[in-house]
Structure 1
Amino acid sequence: MNDKQVRGKYTQEFKLEAVRLVRAGQSVGMTAKVLGIPKASLSNWVRSSEQGQLGGAGDRPVTPEQMELARLRAELARVKMERDIAKKAAAYFAQDVLQSTPGSGR
């Protein structure tokens, strides 16, 4: 097993798009997971962007299709999270209604 980590190199466009997703309201952790990048790297990019220092294009080109896929994955993760919250809320309120129904035995 190889424990040596390979450092990823990303284009400036990829970094800017990842930062844009965070600024649009997506959490750093979720965005990093969806894009398949280390959370620390994304946090550094966001910090650098806030300081106006985000730059340096990497050697690993990211195609427009990959950027679109990353955007869609982030959107899917957000929608799944919203769905799960709605599902839990519906179950909670359904349980509350059942408990207050006459003859429910409670």
Structure 2
Amino acid sequence: MSKKSNTSKRYTAEFKKDAVELVRSSGRTVAEVARELGVSTEGLRGWVKQAKVDRGEG
């Protein structure tokens, strides 16, 4: 059984990109945006961090 737990969700690259852009452009906290989108705060924080690295900012 190599399958992840049933509570694990997979999000598309487009969804992640849009979520990161919402954090960057809205002036709201990661926690606020995560709550609005129904994703975990830590998950969204990781996406934001990875986006910064991908842009050469971190």
TM norm structure 2: 0.79
- The aligned runs of 1:1-106 (5 Å cut-off) are 6-24=7-25, 25-52=27-54
Please identify the structure whose Cα radius of gyration is greater: 1
Residue 27 of structure 1 deviates from its aligned partner by 1.0
Structure 1 Cα separation of the partners of residues 34 and 6 of structure 2 = 17
Unaligned residue ranges in structure 2 (runs of 5+)? none
Root-mean-square deviation over aligned CA pairs: 1.6
Unaligned residue ranges in structure 1 (runs of 5+)? 54-106
Structure 2 Cα separation of the partners of residues 5 and 52 of structure 1 = 29
Aligned residues: percent identity?
A: 36
TM norm structure 1: 0.44
Structure 2 Cα separation of the partners of residues 50 and 39 of structure 1 = 17
